Chains A and B, each alone.
Chain A
Amino acid sequence: MTNTEKKLPQISAAQLFCMLMLSRLSAEITFPLSGTGYGGETLLALVIAEVIRFLLALPLIIYSAKGNNLYRAAYRKSKFMGWALAVIAFLLLAGAVVKSLFHTAVFAQRSLLPKGSPVVLTLIAAGFAVYAAVMGAEALARSGTLFLIAAAVITAAVMLADIPYMKFDAMDLSRSQYGGLIDDITERLLRGGDYLVFAALLPFVALKKEKRKLNACGASLFFALFSTLAGIMLCAFYCLTLREFYGMTEYPFFAAASLSDIALLKRLDGGGAALWTLCAAFRTGLMLFAAWSVIIQPIWEARGKSAFTSGNAEERGSAAG
């Protein structure tokens, strides 16, 4: 590494896992439901969507586990292929950014500020996302971990507070309706993008070359497992608490949080909505940073920057260019 090149921001595999989990959970909670499924259908759709997502991302995970930077490696193999891969990933992530931004603003307005201006809310979320992306991988990693902890605490509080309202016979899967299974699966798949973020952030992960395979695979497998488990847990919570009303509400977490009644805090829907709005804005920033990351790599490769080589952190150049 030359003296003129800045040191690459370093994040740990655990931080990467936290960011991916936060991204997935914020999409689950802040994106509106459009289906009317309930019970067995939603659980089945969730599991199928997770499996499809993982299988689609498997080649990416395996390739990344080998310690190579996918986009640079593709560029070195074929400039056209490298650019095509980077541009496709960029467009997908850019679309995810716009979608995430839109849903963040809508969620904030519907749950927190019904009379608020959607334009102003969108601008605030966009400003937050841009600032988060500009601050870089390390700032995103540190703040993402903190946000995940805070979000987990309030979500756990809502679940515990809603225990008296749970009806366990509501999980009778024989009463499920399966009319909209395909639509439900499609909707869940369109909330994704996390594996693209994974591929984009992987070069920033501080790993020793010899341990890279294990950590890369471990982070992605842990994410696949825990995101599925978290999704199942949320789905089961909504079914037990809201029953058929689950399919009638846009934001089931917000509805379930309105049931809670904890001492001085009373209803947790306001606090929960505020925190998850923040997490959704973080997701937007994370996606924006990932989009920048994938498009900049072939440019750096073309310029001959000695960055993002296979697994050796010291050979990486500046992320800021």
Chain B
Amino acid sequence: MKKIISMIVIPLLLTGCSDNTELGDRAIIQAAAIDFNRGEYQVSALLFSSGGGGGDTIDASQDNVIKVSGSGKTLAEAIDNISLIDGKEIYMSETKLLILGGGFSDISALPALNTLYYDMRCSLNMPVCFSKDSELLTDLHFKEGITAAEKPLSMIEYAYDSGAYPKAVLLDVLADNSGGRATLIPAFEETTNGYGMTDDEEGRTAVLSGSCYMIDGRLSAPFDSQMTTGLMLLSGLTDKIMLNFTVEGDSYNEYTCEAYNIKVELLPDKEDMVKVSARFRERNGAALSEEQCDYALAALTELVRGAMSIM
């Protein structure tokens, strides 16, 4: 009897194999850039290609990363087009970076983000960034890093740790939207900066330039780095930054120090008033003089006040 039951049950347990896909037949997307232009979603994705050099090892320097683009009336259609072009089933659970384009300043990106999470099984901890030209990061062929998305990711991580630029993941966007809050998203722009970071012979690369807000799925106009720092301090996203300040009577020299343990308190009773407290030290850890601390605090307060007009 047990044998009969086993004979019936075991084939049923193999139903998971009925719709299997070999790893080589999957298009593993490492980074995806989506934009909305002329009524269509445009997606460009960096895929791991096992046909390149390096065999089965993901290695950006071995040309085994390919870029494929697709478009469609919905994001799902655009992604399906990529699947048709590449001839493989799309796999987005390992997508390391999502880049949103400037087209989402006019329409909400939330339907696209919901598709990415619920349908495409993207991870909730997938970082999200902005670039006016969404294909900037997918066009550049970064040479460093095991995957093509690793260089931009490390830029975002380092900038966030140092308090310079924000970091937002898919969960932050979805949770903030649900809670009626805006999400600060890091922004990239193109620059020409040295040789060797990418395959480009002219030294073309991407750099973090600031941030923008996502409110109800729509992207705001981008902010510069100064404004970004102020917004991060006001939002409590960071409590330490590198600060430039000048000392009165010494306008030729600008000093740089590290401001840490920064606390920003809004005073709602007083218009445009904010209480800022912080500690300061030099980059090498040495203490600043009291006069320098006062000027640093004034510069910090001015930085925060400048961002209050946006909040």
> Measuring CB to CB, which residues of chain A are less than 8 angstroms from any residue of chain B?
112-113, 115-117, 120-121, 123-124, 127, 131, 165, 175, 242-245, 247-248, 255, 258-259, 261, 267
B121 proximity list for chain A (CB < 8 A): 258
- Chain B contacts with A in 76-99, Cβ cutoff 8 A: 93
Q: Flag if A165 contacts B12 (CB, 8 Å).
A: no
- Please judge, given known A-B contacts A131-B5, A255-B124, A267-B93, whether A245 and B19 are in contact too, CB under 8 Å: no
B9 proximity list for chain A (CB < 8 A): 124, 127, 131
- Please judge, given known A-B contacts A131-B5, A259-B125, whether A120 and B178 are in contact too, CB under 8 Å: no
Task: Name the residue of chain A whose CB is nearest to the CB of B236.
Answer: A169
A175 proximity list for chain B (CB < 8 A): 179
Q: Flag if B12 contacts A120 (CB, 8 Å).
A: yes
> Measuring CB to CB, which residues of chain B are less than 8 angstroms from any residue of chain A?
5, 8-9, 12-13, 15-16, 19, 93, 121, 123-125, 171, 174-176, 178-179
| Residue of A116, A117, A127, A245 with most partner-chain B CB within 10 A | A245
With both chains docked as a complex, state the minimum distance between the C-beta of B16 and any C-beta of chain A, in angstroms: 6
15 contacts between A and B (CB under 8 A): A113-B15, A116-B19, A120-B12, A120-B15, A121-B15, A127-B8, A131-B5, A175-B179, A243-B171, A245-B171, A245-B174, A248-B178, A255-B124, A258-B123, A259-B123
B171 proximity list for chain A (CB < 8 A): 165, 242-243, 245, 259
Q: Please measure, in the bound complex, the distance between the C-alpha atom of A123 and the C-alpha atom of B9, giving whole angstroms.
A: 10
User: Dominant SS at the A interface?
Assistant: helix
With both chains docked as a complex, state the minimum distance between the C-beta of A112 and any C-beta of chain B, in angstroms: 8
- From A127, A244, A258, B12 is in contact (CB under 8 Å) with A127
B175 proximity list for chain A (CB < 8 A): 242-245
Task: Name the residue of chain A whose CB is nearest to the CB of B2.
Answer: A131
Pick the 10 closest A-B CB pairs, nearest first.
Answer: A244-B178, A244-B179, A243-B175, A245-B175, A244-B175, A259-B125, A245-B174, A115-B19, A124-B12, A259-B124
Q: Flag if A247 contacts B124 (CB, 8 Å).
A: no
- Please judge, given known A-B contacts A127-B9, A243-B175, A248-B178, whether A116 and B124 are in contact too, CB under 8 Å: no
Q: Please measure, in the bound complex, the distance between the C-alpha atom of A112 and the C-alpha atom of B16, giving whole angstroms.
A: 9
